[in-house]
Amino acid sequence: MKKPELLVTPHRVEDLLPLSEAGADAFVVGEQRYGLRLAGEFNREDVKKAVELAHSKGKKLYVAVNAIFHNDKAEELDDYIAFVQDAGADAIIFGDPAVLMAARSVAPNMPLHWSTETTATNYFTCNYWGKRGAVRAVLSRELSMEAVIEITEQAEVAIEVQVHGMTCMFQSKRPLLGHYFEYQGKVMEIENRKEAKNMLLHDPERNNKYPIFEDENGTHIMSPNDICIIDELGELVEAGVDSFKVDGILHSPEYLVEVTRLYRQAINLCAENPEEYEDTKEEWLERIEAIQPAHRPLDTGFFFKETVY
Amino acid sequence: MTVTVNDAISTIVNGKRVITKKPELLAPAGTLEKLKIAVHYGADAVYIGGQEYGLRSNAGNFTFEEMKEGVEFAKQYGAKIYVTTNIYAHNENIDGLEDYLRGLEEAGVAGIIVADPLIIETCRKVAPNVEVHLSTQQSLSNWRAVQYWKEEGLHRVVLARETTGEEMRKIKEKVDIEIETFIHGAMCIAYSGRCVLSNHMTARDSNRGGCCQSCRWDYDLYSLEENGEQALFSEEDAPFAMSPKDLRLVESLPSMIEMGIDSLKIEGRMKSIHYIATVVSVYRKVIDSYCADPESFEFKQEWLDELEKCANRPAAPAFFEGMPSADEQLFGVHGKKASHDFVGLVLDYDNETGMVTLQQRNFFRPGDEVEFFGPEIEGFTQKVETIWDEKGNELDAARHPLQVVRFKVEQPVYPNNMMRKELA
């Protein structure tokens, strides 16, 4: 069976080699000026180095340009996209149509991946962006396994699905942490804490803890659990999903390398010997559990959870 | 934001500048009654939700029959009806969409407000007479993206609530497309469409109408340290909250009108007829007053006072003037009571006897000071004297919701005028 790409999110340039050795096929990098919720910050020099490293190992490198842009940054896009093309990146990830407009004018041959996270929820719309120039759609995390499979079957573009890590639940343009500290009369607090990205919102009623951080794009609230479906890859591989993403945001580089290694092995087994994969899948989950930080419970996201409305 | 005179939207009549391009005043309505009130009080257009594909599962939603009636009613006033069709659809929502959109076209709605390209494309195929307006759910906040949607053939775009006044002006200058923007009401604190708190917390899909407003709840903020979690608040502080004050841009209308914004939108399909009547009439007055004579326009405090009478949260200009400050969020409070209660809806008035026939909407009794308002009258206050029921029995108070009562009113009033009472 076709093996889906294993896509991971390095924190630093020096992570690319260990992640390549662990079995990653492709990387997402970028800078927060243009990209959302990246595991690490890659300036232009870093992007160039990352492209070289990735290509030297036969891997692909995608640059995230998926922020929600206002006029000021929308006008910088030509320059940034031209840079990304010159750097030799393999694709640009976008959500805002301004990126599509800029790419059409300065980099018409650059492959585009459509990713808005929460709003990629049906196959028609994935194909719509395909007709407008995207070669891949990154699906919303709030979809069931059944919906993901149906989209994959109906899609005329490649499909990317996040299989591991935390997901974004909320983005506000406002600096909500800074505002709370200001309300408390502790204006310096946010400056001191900004880089650490170690804050949590407690929701006592649900006994959940949501990571929350602030950056140039506003305030982001993340899921209380990490998705982990290393033991449920069978149907997705069979359906022909093109890319599995492991998001390492707010995890250590070492953790990401280990998780990448385990998914690589699980994907290989699942594609080459599905029966053995089925028989051993509990063991894959146990291996992840063994390295999972205590404050990040694992779950299966929305793959097996019904939502109503 | 400063007001920059824009000659493209005005003309000179008898030596005086008047605005010829008046923006549309767009009001929400959750029911047919609310729709009629909105139009009667001066809305140029009303947006409503249908039975499916809208974002307020809990709002009163219209059947096709009710839509037709609403469209017919609005037509008498030259007003238009739009239908919110702005979910992000899942595969399972695709079946039935074509029939639904044809139903909207048959009902005579002027346009739909849409976020998902699935619905945009399907509407153009099966209901080509219906205008397509891009919903704020697309968080549209730059002119290049607006240019994209114009090239896609959309009639109008609704901007993100995060767009500043200066950004709006530039968008309007750069792209020739109708721009709609929010001027009043409750707002998402997140970029619309980019929030799935409800999905995680209550298994309800926020982008298909299930939003349970988790962002208005209180949370405790901690940091994760090597020795465990550390509270980032003290006992006397209110908990972490992200509830925004409501938007109120009534004072910015002159600059929005001069920019040439095409449609000014009031939020609130769940709001009462009293709220809709109050807000629509204030904005109607300000728009008309500015457009008739911009040079001698002066903003009146009474307009703000009037809006306070139905406001259930403090208000702020949000992003219009730039990034909102911490003061534009609510900490430790979850809103406030409006200063006035809506107590009665005028059904009829007898000019000879001065007797009003009124439907009770809240408790009032003889001796209460009440206030009447409506599009036909200047607001006035008076004291309620003897109250009778429909059969002529004297009442000690109007106690029952929807009860029809009569009493004397000193000045003429008209059907659908409203009576309110200041809360103690």
Detail the DSSP E strand segments found in B54-125: 80-85, 111-114
Instruction: Tell me if chain B has a CB within 8 Å of the CB of A302.
Output: yes
Tokens describing residue B12: 């000179």
Residue of B nearest to A97 (CA): B145
Give the pLDDT score at B59: 65
The residue out of B279, B302, B330 marking a domain boundary is B330
Q: Are B182 and B136 in contact (CB under 8 A)?
A: yes
Residue A275's contacts (CB-CB under 8 Å, 6 or more residues apart) are none
Q: Which residues contact B110 (CB under 8 A, 6 or more apart)?
A: B45, B80, B81, B82, B130, B131
For residue A72, pLDDT over 70 is answered with yes
* Chain A residues touching residue B224 (CB < 8 angstroms): 198-200, 295
Burial of A195 (0-12, 13-18, 19+ CB in 10 A): exposed
Q: Test A97 with B148 for CB contact under 8 angstroms.
A: yes
**CATH no. for residue B254?**
3.20.20.70
Any A CB within 8 A of B163 CB: yes
pLDDT band, residue A1 (cuts 50/70/90): confident
Nearest chain B Cα distance for residue A156, angstroms: 15
Q: Is A232 exposed, middle or buried (0-12, 13-18, 19+ CB in 10 A)?
A: middle
Please write the tens of the pLDDT for every residue from A192-247.
787 788 999 999 899 999 999 999 999 999 999 999 999 999 999 999 999 999 99
* Nearest residue to B63 (alpha-carbon basis) of B92, B83, B43: B83
Distance CA B160, CA A174 (A): 13
Range of the domain at B399: 340-422
Q: Is the pLDDT of residue A115 over 90?
A: yes
> Is there a single domain that holds both residue B413 and residue B388?
yes
Q: How far is CA A288 from CA A39, A141, A224, A293, A299, in A?
A: 19, 20, 17, 10, 12
Of B213, B263, B267, B207, nearest to B85 (Cα)?
B207
**DSSP 8-state symbol, B191:** P
Q: Does B226 touch chain A (CB under 8 A)?
A: no
Q: Tell which A residues from 204 to 223 touch B, by Cβ distance under 8 Å.
A: 204, 206, 208-210, 212, 218-219, 221, 223
**CA distances, B347 to each of B41, B405, B417, B418 (Å):** 15, 10, 8, 10
Ramachandran category for residue A277: left, alpha or beta (phi over 0 → left; psi -120 to 50 → alpha): alpha
Say yes or no for a CB contact (<8 Å) between A97 and B144.
Answer: yes
Q: For residues B153 and B132, give the distance between their C-alpha atoms in angstroms, rounded to a whole number.
A: 9
Distance CA(A54)–CA(B402), nearest Å, equals 72
Residue from B140, B149, B194, B197 whose CB has the most chain A CBs within 10 Å, to mutate: B194
Residues in contact with A153: Cβ distance below 8 Å, sequence separation at least 6, in sequence order? A123, A239, A240
CATH number at residue B351: 2.40.30.10
Rounded to the nearest angstrom, the minimum Cα separation between B147 and chain A is 8
Whether residue B306 is found in the same domain as residue B357: no
Residue B115 pLDDT grade (very low, low, confident, very high; cuts 50, 70, 90): very high
Domain count, chain B: 2
Chain A residues with CB under 8 Å of B53 CB are: none
| A265's tokens | 């092995």
Residue B235, pLDDT > 90, answer no
The β-bridge relationship of strands B178-185 and B243-244 is unpaired
Same domain as B270, residue B363: no
Please work out, in degrees rounded to the nearest 5, the angle formed at the alpha carbon of residue B422 by the alpha carbons of B418 and B423.
125
CB within 8 Å: A125 and B118: yes
Instruction: Identify the closest residue of chain A to B242 by CA–CA distance.
Output: A176
What's the pLDDT score for residue B265?
98
CB nearest to B242's CB, from A69, A172, A295: A172
The reply to whether B285 and B401 lie within a common domain is: no
Q: What is the pLDDT of residues A135-166, one digit of tens each?
A: 999 999 999 999 999 999 999 999 999 999 99
Last residue of a domain, one of B330, B351, B368: B330
CA distance B135 to chain A (A): 13
Same domain? For B306 and B376 the reply is no
How far is residue A181's CA from residue B209's CA, in Å, rounded to a whole number? Answer: 32
Q: Is A220 exposed, middle or buried (0-12, 13-18, 19+ CB in 10 A)?
A: buried
Q: Is the CATH code 3.20.20.70 the one for domain A5-166+227-299?
A: yes
Q: Determine how many CB atoms are found less than 10 A away from the CB of residue B126.
A: 16
The token pair that represents B114 in the structure block: 């849409």
Separation CA A35–CA A29 (nearest Å): 8
pLDDT in the model for residue B56:
74
Q: What is the pLDDT of residues A275-295, one digit of tens each?
A: 999 999 999 999 999 999 999
Same domain, B278 and B170: yes
In what helix (H) or strand (E) does residue A245 lie, and over which residues does it extend? Answer: strand A243-246
Residue of A37, A69, A71, A303 to mutate when probing chain B, most B C-beta within 10 A: A71
Judge whether B212 is closer than 8 Å to chain A, CB to CB.
Answer: no
8 Å CB contact between B362 and B343: yes
On whether both B274 and B411 belong to a single domain, the answer is no
Single out the residue in B304, B330, B356 at which a domain terminates.
Answer: B330
User: From A131, which residue of chain B is nearest by alpha-carbon distance?
Assistant: B117
pLDDT tens-digit series, residues B2-29 = 899 999 999 999 999 999 999 999 999 9
H helix runs in B108-224, sequence order = 117-126, 143-151, 165-174, 197-202
List all residues of chain B from 38 to 97 with a beta carbon under 8 Å from chain A: 57, 88-94
According to CATH, where is 3.20.20.70 located in chain A?
Answer: 5-166+227-299
State how far the Cα of A276 lies from the Cα of B400, in Å rounded to an integer. Answer: 72
* Residue B321 touches partner A, C-beta closer than 8 Å: no
Q: Which two tokens stand for residue A14?
A: 């020096």
